[in-house]
Chain A
Amino acid sequence: MRHPRLLVCRDEVGIGERLRDLARQRKWFFRSRRRPAACLRLLRRGCPTVLVLGVGGRLIGRALEDEFRLLERVAWLLPDTMMIVVLGREDPALAALAWDLGARYVLTTAQARDWLPDIVVGLMKAAMSCSMSGD
């Protein structure tokens, strides 16, 4: 089994620093990328990975298509990758789409303050057991 990795994509919701500390404590690799395409390239170097996608709160001036396309592609091509989506706005439609396209958990920035580290740790365990077995 290869070394666990925590990857943050598009940190528009201010979660990167906390996750960087978490990765340091747990001795995981940590990567942060702004562009979804760069994330996908990294993910192809397979190892147990939790991908955290931060989707900012603004509805205009952003490419939601790229962010959700990343979810769809990763869910299909790299099914062992555990995806978490942190939404900058409370929007059930975006949350629903993220769940539907394969996110393993979707939460808002307010929820992320309390729950995100535990969810990341839990899903990293799932990613590590997946690379041994699967669903």
Chain B
Amino acid sequence: MSDEGRTPELPVPPSAGDNPSPGSSEFRWQSFFQRSRDPLFLLDRRRRLLFVNRAWEDLTGVPADQARGLTCTRRAPTMPGPWDAVTRALAPPAEVFEGKPARARRLIAGPGSGRPARRTTMAQETAGMAAPPGERPWEPGCRSWDIDFFPLVDEHGLLGILGRVSPVEPAPVWGDLSLTAALLALHQQAQKEKAKAGSDEQLWEPDVLVALRQRMAQRHRLDQLGSDLPALRQIADQVRLVSQVLVPVLIVGEPGTGKEWLARTIHHHGVAAERPFAVLDCAHLPPEALAAVLFGEGRAPQPHFGTLYLREPAFLPRDLQARLCDRLTTGEGQAQAGPRLIAGSSADLAEHVRAGRLVEELSCMLSTVVLRLPPLRERRADLPWLVERMLERAAAEGRRITVLAPEAWELVRAYSWPGNLRELYEVLAGACARATGERIEAADLPFYLRRAIHLEQTPGPEPAGALPLDRLLAEAERRLIQLALERTGGHKARAADLLAIPRPRLFRRMKALGLAAGDESADETEVQIEPEE
């Protein structure tokens, strides 16, 4: 808009130390505005600040003499100044220049300074708990202002703009605090209860609880993904990107490939790290328990989660899937303060959609970013590093063993690891417990693993002449039953489950094949109740 030839302008107030004379019209309106408790400001039609009152100075921390003449525009300034955040927030919307009043909500850095928004540290949070009521130094620096803009118009057009700032008070709920701050607040409450009760009992230490969270974060660092495989390097790059925005992430990988570990890693790297992480087992929890966490239903208030990891979301009941879709569509679940959703699935969600288990819309929404974890058999080059890490983890509770004997290594390298990282950890933790020496020997590894290698490597005897099919089938059946019994520690009912046959049939086949079937009822295990140690 051209301002040339437009008259009159609002009178420019006197500069600092040059007060208007008592009785003048300027003196009267300035006194009126100064007495107001609302932070007020006056702009000319070129968006320059002409006047601010004391309440405005108190709110923004910008002295009146420095505020005068500043231009309030959303455009980035050519010369950055100390009050840029404030002047950007005060920029009037376009409709005000058409003579219409307007209201705008503006995000601004922490109170009083115009300094850039930043995350608070734990030390600041701790200090913040002792801060006077009303101040919340543990919050991230950003806060909001609602600003009313009133155009001042005469017969010639726009003269200027009067503005009023209303700070938006954050709702005083726990969700606005980080988990650390909430624990410190709980400790303060416990101290008060202790003082009131006149108790001399020892109180729990909040630092210890905070340290448990930090230990959890330490175990979920991106460098622990550690591999030179292109697939894993790509995942690391993607995690660095997605951790900074609250978009839904889908992690696909075979069972045991570390989907939950990766979800936690994204959480601890991300913007929601100060809030809690929760795993929700969609396939096994009852619907009302799932709804309580997903939608805050139920008698008890749910915590303000930072990240919700949905394990196998395809098994969510259909009505909850539809409600989750609605929530994601309205943006409620992914708002700045809402939890980030990460889904973990052992199969592509598209397969679940085809099978009619998963609503297609939800599948699309959860698949904004897809990360695929390779199975362990495709990352054998990582085995030395992974074994080292898992031995460290297993040693946390027991004896420290860091080496595998060459024969044990041979078995670990040759095995196909269908259970992936989970199986590798279980095998190594068990071997650590069994090992009697300073290293893990082949004999310390589970029998099924040694046998699997043996079966893979030992060629069967060459059949002479005609193939005795019945005998071969019986032999194969015998071996399968033996293998199932070994896998289940001799538990026949479980072995029958594993072989997907009824238990009576297993007993009949064992008898027919000359395997000792024993008493069928011997498998029933009684409930045992042990006395307190």
What is A's interface to B at a CB cutoff of 8 Å? 1-3, 20, 23-24, 27-35, 38, 40, 44, 46, 59-65, 68-69, 72-73, 75-77, 79-80, 90-97, 99-102, 104-105, 107-108, 110-111, 114-115, 118-119, 122-123, 125-126, 130, 133-135
- Whether the Cβ atoms of B528 and A29 lie closer than 8 Å is yes
- Whether the Cβ atoms of B284 and A125 lie closer than 8 Å is yes
- Whether the Cβ atoms of B216 and A72 lie closer than 8 Å is yes
**Please, which residue of chain A has its CB at the minimum distance from the CB of B199?**
A60
Which residues of B are found within 8 Å of A135, using beta-carbon distances? Answer: 255-256, 258-260, 311, 344, 422
How far, in angstroms, from A61 to B255 measured CA to CA in the complex?
43
Within B415-462, which residues are at the interface with A (CB < 8 Å)?
A: 419-423, 425-426, 429-430, 433
B529 interface residue (CB < 8 Å to A): yes
Which residues of B are found within 8 Å of A125, using beta-carbon distances? Answer: 284
10 additional contacts (CB under 8 A) given A94-B186, A99-B305: A31-B529, A32-B529, A76-B393, A96-B303, A97-B209, A101-B212, A115-B288, A133-B256, A134-B422, A135-B344
What is B's interface to A at a CB cutoff of 8 Å? 174, 179, 182-183, 185-186, 189-190, 193-194, 197, 199, 201-205, 208-209, 212-213, 215-216, 219, 255-256, 258-260, 275-279, 281, 283-286, 288-289, 292, 298-305, 311, 344, 346, 393-394, 396-397, 419-423, 425-426, 429-430, 433, 487-489, 491, 494, 497-498, 524-530, 532-533
Given A99-B276, A100-B179, A101-B213, A30 and B529 touching (CB < 8 A)? yes
Which residues of B are found within 8 Å of A94, using beta-carbon distances? Answer: 186
- Whether the Cβ atoms of B289 and A119 lie closer than 8 Å is yes
- Whether the Cβ atoms of B179 and A29 lie closer than 8 Å is no
**Please, which residue of chain B has its CB at the minimum distance from the CB of A61?**
B201
- Whether the Cβ atoms of A92 and B303 lie closer than 8 Å is yes
How far, in angstroms, from A114 to B287 measured CA to CA in the complex?
13
Which residues of A are found within 8 Å of B394, using beta-carbon distances? Answer: 77
- Whether the Cβ atoms of A93 and B256 lie closer than 8 Å is no
Q: How far is the CB of B53 from chain A (nearest CB, A)?
A: 40
Which residues of A are found within 8 Å of B275, using beta-carbon distances? Answer: 96
Given A29-B525, A108-B300, A64 and B209 touching (CB < 8 A)? yes
Given A99-B305, A134-B256, A134-B420, A60 and B276 touching (CB < 8 A)? no
Kindly list the 6 A-B residue pairs having the minimum CB-CB distance in the complex, ordered from nearest: A134-B422, A134-B256, A96-B303, A133-B255, A93-B182, A100-B276
- Whether the Cβ atoms of B182 and A63 lie closer than 8 Å is no
Q: How far is the CB of B272 from chain A (nearest CB, A)?
A: 11
How far, in angstroms, from A64 to B419 measured CA to CA in the complex?
35
Which residues of A are found within 8 Å of B203, using beta-carbon distances? Answer: 60
- Whether the Cβ atoms of B194 and A96 lie closer than 8 Å is no
How far, in angstroms, from A122 to B201 measured CA to CA in the complex?
39
- Whether the Cβ atoms of A59 and B219 lie closer than 8 Å is no
User: Contacting A59 at CB < 8 Å: which of B186, B256, B305?
Assistant: B186
Q: How far is the CB of B304 from chain A (nearest CB, A)?
A: 7
User: Contacting A63 at CB < 8 Å: which of B204, B256, B277, B305?
Assistant: B204
**Please, which residue of chain B has its CB at the minimum distance from the CB of A117?**
B286
- Whether the Cβ atoms of B212 and A32 lie closer than 8 Å is no
